[in-house]
C-alpha cells in the first residue's frame, strides 16, 4: 500500500466500508489523472460540480488574480466588495425579476438550511413539506426533510413538523395547507435517479402554494448551472419558485452555495432579531470570483445551446443498449437503469477499470449516474459511450 493510501486509512474519515481508492494527482477538462498517470473521463463531474470542466482556465485565472488582492473579508452583507456584488448582480440578471437578492453560503446543505429558516421566519409557520427520495443535504435541518426514512432513523429526533409527498403525484398536493411554510422540491429529482414530473403537477403545485401562501423552495443544487440544458432546472420544468438554492456547479470547483429570493422575503433576516442568519465564509471573495467566471464561461462558450445535441448523442448510444431497462434524461443529467444493484455495480467497476468514472444514485442503486462536464466534446461522448457499450455487450 502506498504511503498516502495508508495515511488516508489512518487519518481521513471514511463514510463507506469500501472507498473507491482513486488517487488523483491532476484534473483538466473532463479528465482526471491518477498517480500512475492513468487517464479517466469523469462522467459525473465530481457529482455535478465541474460543469465547466475541471480547472477551466478562465476560472483558474480569476482565482489567481483574486488571491493576490485579498482572500477574506467579513462577508454577510456588511462590507462592500466587488466580487460579491458583481456575482449577486449577475445572478439577478439571469433570473426572473423577483429573484433579485442573494445570500451566499459555502455548500448545498447550508443553502437549504438558510432557505428553510427564511421561509419559516417569513411565513411565521413551521411546517415543511418535501418529496420521497429527495436528498437536500446532511446537516440536521436538511436531513429532516430527506425523503428516505432509513437515512434519517439513526439521527432522530430531527426537526418536527415535516411531511413527505410523492414527487409528481398531483393527489398529494392536497397535503399542502395554510400551515405549510414551504415545500422544498427539485425540478428534476437527482438522487432518486433522474425523475421528472408532468407539467400539470407543476401547475397544480404553483396554484396550491399561491392559495395557501406556501413558499416554493426549488433545490437547484444539482439541476442548476446548465445541467438540464437551461441555466436553472425550474426553467426546464417551467414553474416559478419563491426561493432557489444553489451550490455544486455554481463555484466551478470551489465551495460556494447561495439562496436567492425577492428582496421582500430576504428582508425577514434583517430585523427581529438583527443578523437573522450569519456565515463567516459564505460569499468569500475567492469563491465568488470563481462563481462569476463560471457563469461567464457558460455564456461566452455558448454551452447551453450545445446541450441538446450532446444529450441526443448519449441517448442514441445508450437508450437501447443491452441490459438497459430504462434510460432517463434531462439534458446532460442521465440515469441508465439495470435489473439490480449488483449488475449496475459490476458495470460501474468495469467502466472504471477502462478509465471511465460513473456512479449510482443514493436512492436508486440500480441506475448508473451520467452527468458529465457540460463542456464534454462530441468525440469524448463517443469514446465514453463506446466504453459503456463495450462493457454491456461483453457482460
Ligand atoms: N441538494 C441536492 C439536490 C444535492 O444533490 C446535494 C448534494 N448531493 C445537496 C443538496 C447538499 O449539498 P452539499 O453536499 O454541498 O451540502
Distance CA(46)–CA(371), nearest Å, equals 9
Atom of ligand 1 nearest to the CA of 247: 15
What pLDDT score does 92 carry? 98
Length of the chain: 395
What dihedral angle (degrees, nearest 10) is formed by the CA atoms of 382, 387, 393, 395?
A: -160
Centroid of ligand 1 to alpha carbon of 123 (angstroms)? 25
Atom of ligand 1 nearest to the CA of 191: 5
Atom of ligand 1 nearest to the CA of 137: 11
3-state SS class at 370 = strand
Centroid of ligand 1 to alpha carbon of 114 (angstroms)? 14
Distance CA(16)–CA(257), nearest Å, equals 25
Centroid of ligand 1 to alpha carbon of 254 (angstroms)? 14
- Residue 34 has φ and ψ, to the nearest 5°, of -95, -175
* Cell numbers linked to 197: 414530473
Centroid of ligand 1 to alpha carbon of 235 (angstroms)? 20
DSSP 287-335: HHHHHHHHHHHHHHTTHHHHHHHHHHHHHHHHTT-TT--EEEESSS-EE
Atom of ligand 1 nearest to the CA of 186: 3
Please give the average per-residue pLDDT across 6-25, as a whole number.
Answer: 92
C-alpha separations of 319 from 249, 341, 370 in Å: 26, 19, 13
C-alpha separations of 326 from 124, 323, 366 in Å: 43, 9, 10
State yes or no: pLDDT of 33 exceeds 80. Answer: yes
Taking CA atoms only, the protein residue closest to ligand 1 atom 2 is 136
Atom of ligand 1 nearest to the CA of 109: 16
State yes or no: pLDDT of 77 exceeds 90. Answer: no
Under 8 Å between Cβ of 254 and 287: yes
Per-residue pLDDT of 330-345, as tens digits, reads 999 999 999 999 999 9
Centroid of ligand 1 to alpha carbon of 52 (angstroms)? 18
DSSP 86-109: HHHHHHHHHS-TT--EEEEESSHH
Centroid of ligand 1 to alpha carbon of 122 (angstroms)? 24
Residues 6+ apart with CB under 8 A from 213: 123, 178
- Ligand 1 pocket: which of 248, 258, 282, 333 to mutate (most atoms within 8 A of CB): 248
Centroid of ligand 1 to alpha carbon of 131 (angstroms)? 15
Q: Which residues pair with 218 in a beta bridge?
A: 185, 244
What pLDDT score does 78 carry? 79
Q: Give me the residue label for grid cell 432518486.
A: 192
- Ligand 1 pocket: which of 49, 50, 51, 108 to mutate (most atoms within 8 A of CB): 108
Centroid of ligand 1 to alpha carbon of 157 (angstroms)? 21
Please give the average per-residue pLDDT across 149-165, as a whole number.
Answer: 96
pTM: 0.97
Per-residue pLDDT of 357-373, as tens digits, reads 999 999 999 999 999 99
* Cell numbers linked to 159: 426537526
Taking CA atoms only, the protein residue closest to ligand 1 atom 12 is 108
As a whole number, the mean pLDDT across the chain is 97
Centroid of ligand 1 to alpha carbon of 75 (angstroms)? 22
Per-residue pLDDT of 212-265, as tens digits, reads 999 999 999 999 999 999 999 999 999 999 999 999 999 999 999 999 999 999
Centroid of ligand 1 to alpha carbon of 107 (angstroms)? 8
Reported as type and span, the H/E element at residue 359 is: strand 359-361
Name residues contacting ligand 1 (CB within 6 A): 107-109, 112, 135-137, 186, 190-191, 219, 221-222, 247
Atom of ligand 1 nearest to the CA of 107: 15
What pLDDT score does 74 carry? 84
Taking CA atoms only, the protein residue closest to ligand 1 atom 5 is 222
Taking CA atoms only, the protein residue closest to ligand 1 atom 7 is 137
* Cell numbers linked to 212: 395557501
Distance CA(393)–CA(218), nearest Å, equals 39
Taking CA atoms only, the protein residue closest to ligand 1 atom 13 is 108
Centroid of ligand 1 to alpha carbon of 136 (angstroms)? 5
State yes or no: pLDDT of 160 exceeds 80. Answer: yes
What pLDDT score does 1 carry? 64
Amino acid at each position: 500500500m502506498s504511503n498516502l493510501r495508508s495515511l488516508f486509512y489512518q487519518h481521513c474519515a471514511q463514510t463507506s466500508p469500501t472507498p473507491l481508492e482513486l488517487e488523483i494527482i491532476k484534473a483538466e477538462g473532463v479528465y482526471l489523472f491518477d498517480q500512475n498517470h492513468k487517464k479517466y473521463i469523469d462522467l459525473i463531474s465530481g457529482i455535478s460540480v465541474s460543469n465547466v470542466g475541471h480547472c477551466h482556465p478562465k476560472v483558474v485565472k480569476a482565482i489567481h488574480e483574486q488571491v493576490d488582492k485579498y482572500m477574506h473579508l467579513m462577508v454577510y452583507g456588511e462590507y462592500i466588495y466587488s466580487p460579491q456584488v458583481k456575482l449577486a448582480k449577475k445572478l439577478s440578471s439571469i433570473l426572473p425579476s423577483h429573484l433579485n437578492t442573494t445570500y451566499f453560503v459555502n455548500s448545498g446543505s447550508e443553502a437549504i438550511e438558510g432557505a428553510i429558516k427564511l421561509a419559516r421566519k417569513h411565513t411565521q409557520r413551521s411546517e415543511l413539506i418535501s418529496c420521497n427520495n429527495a436528498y437536500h443535504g446532511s446537516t440536521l435541518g436538511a436531513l429532516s426533510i430527506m425523503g428516505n426514512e432509513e437515512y434519517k432513523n439513526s439521527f432522530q429526533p430531527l426537526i418536527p413538523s415535516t411531511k413527505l409527498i410523492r414527487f409528481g403525484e398531483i393527489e398529494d398536493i392536497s397535503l399542502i395547507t395554510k400551515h405549510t411554510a414551504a415545500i422544498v422540491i427539485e425540478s428534476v429529482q437527482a438522487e432518486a435517479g433522474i425523475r421528472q414530473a408532468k407539467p400539470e403537477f407543476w401547475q397544480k403545485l404553483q396554484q396550491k402554494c399561491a392559495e395557501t401562501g406556501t413558499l416554493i423552495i426549488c433545490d437547484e443544487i444539482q439541476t442548476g448551472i446548465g445541467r438540464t440544458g437551461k441555466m436553472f432546472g425550474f426553467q426546464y420544468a417551467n414553474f416559478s419558485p419563491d426561493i432557489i438554492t444553489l451550490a455544486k456547479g455554481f463555484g466551478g470547483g470551489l465551495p460556494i452555495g447561495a439562496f436567492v429570493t425577492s428582496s421582500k422575503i430576504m428582508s425577514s433576516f434583517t430585523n427581529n432579531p438583527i443578523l437573522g442568519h450569519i456565515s463567516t465564509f459564505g460569499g468569500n471573495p475567492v469563491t465568488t470570483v470563481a462563481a462569476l467566471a463560471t457563469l461567464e464561461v457558460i455564456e461566452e462558450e455558448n454551452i447551453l445551446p450545445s446541450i441538446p445535441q450532446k444529450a441526443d448523442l448519449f441517448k442514441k448510444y445508450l437508450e437501447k443498449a443491452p441490459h438497459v431497462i430504462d434510460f432517463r434524461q434531462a439534458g446532460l443529467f442521465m440515469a441508465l437503469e439495470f435489473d439490480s444493484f449488483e449488475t449496475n455495480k459490476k458495470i460501474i467497476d468495469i467502466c472504471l477499470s477502462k478509465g471511465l468514472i460513473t456512479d449510482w444514485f443514493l436512492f436508486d442503486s440500480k441506475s448508473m449516474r451520467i452527468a458529465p462536464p457540460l463542456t464534454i466534446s462530441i468525440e469524448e461522448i463517443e469514446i465514453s459511450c463506446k466504453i459503456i457499450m463495450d462493457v454491456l455487450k461483453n457482460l
